[in-house]
Amino acid sequence: MFHGSRAGRASPRAWSGDCDVLRACGALEDTEPIPRSTDVDVIDLLIQQHRELEALFDACRAAKDDASKQELGIQLAEALTLHTTIEERWVYPAARRVVEEKLIQDSVEEHGEMTELIAQMIRARNDPQKLVALFGELEKVVKDHVTMEERDVLPKLGQKVTEQDLGMSCKDIVRTASEVRREEMQKLQGQANA
């Protein structure tokens, strides 16, 4: 589904990697390590997903043909659905103990905007001009969301929340979220075809 890397970023297939390794090899040069009380792999996962989303948006802007734009639209939808599922089901419930509720509410609202834009992208998959416009709208929402999350949420979460607080390992979170992503994508595609 995801292929290769762009601009020195990690491949989207490598969602269980270690951000310290990626940072050491220059793949995450624009991020600072987040201080932690313990090693919470899900934070590394979220940061890596943020970089991968940026790479997908770069690829969307660079895509020359309609088929590539359509495929990238589906990849973005799947990546964002997986990411928002992880945040809403595991990260935000734990974050509510250490982050102001307004930040969590703003994040959930941004997820709603993303979901609506994804649904519009799926409906517009055969209209390349509309798809490009929706890519731009979605990119702005995602960029604002990532900036706030990496500045205001993840540092606090990393200092005070452990994997035990999340209720399952990062690997199990990804496995469960992947199942949810498949169901959500089927639902969105079914709605688009109706």
Across 61-70, 85-94, 163-172, least confident range:
163-172
CB contact at 8 A, 182 and 174: no
Rg of the chain (C-alpha set): 16
Q: Does the pLDDT value for residue 15 go beyond 70? A: no
Q: How many CB atoms lie within 10 A of CB 52?
A: 23
Closest CA to 69 of 143, 12, 126: 126
Of 143 and 33, which is predicted with more confidence?
Answer: 143
Question: What is the model's pLDDT at position 144?
Answer: 96
Q: Does the pLDDT value for residue 138 go beyond 50? A: yes
Looking at mean pLDDT, say which of 3-17, 28-42, 98-112, 152-166 comes out highest: 98-112
CB contact at 8 A, 141 and 114: yes
Question: What is the model's pLDDT at position 129?
Answer: 87
Looking at mean pLDDT, say which of 68-72, 76-80, 140-144, 153-157 comes out highest: 140-144
Give the integer Cα–Cα distance in Å for 109 and 42: 21
Sequential DSSP letters for the chain: ---S-STTPPPTT-TT--HHHHHHTTTTTT-PPPP-SS--HHHHHHHHHHHHHHHHHHHHHH--SHHHHHHHHHHHHHHHHHHHHHIIIIIHHHHTTTS-HHHHHHHHHHHHHHHHHHHHHHHTTT-HHHHHHHHHHHHHHHHHHHHHIIIIIHHHHHHH--HHHHTS-HHHHHHHHHHHHHHHHHHHHHHHH-
Domain map (residue ranges) of the chain: 19-193
Average pLDDT across the chain, whole number: 78
Question: What is the model's pLDDT at position 178?
Answer: 86
Question: What is the model's pLDDT at position 33?
Answer: 46
Of 142 and 26, which is predicted with more confidence?
Answer: 142
Q: What is the mean pLDDT of residues 17-28?
A: 35
Q: Does the pLDDT value for residue 17 go beyond 80? A: no
Question: What is the model's pLDDT at position 150?
Answer: 94
Q: What is the CATH number of domain 19-193?
A: 1.20.120
The token pair that represents 62 in the structure block: 């660079």
Task: List Cβ neighbours of 99 (8 Å cut-off, separation of 6 or more).
Answer: 152, 153, 156, 157
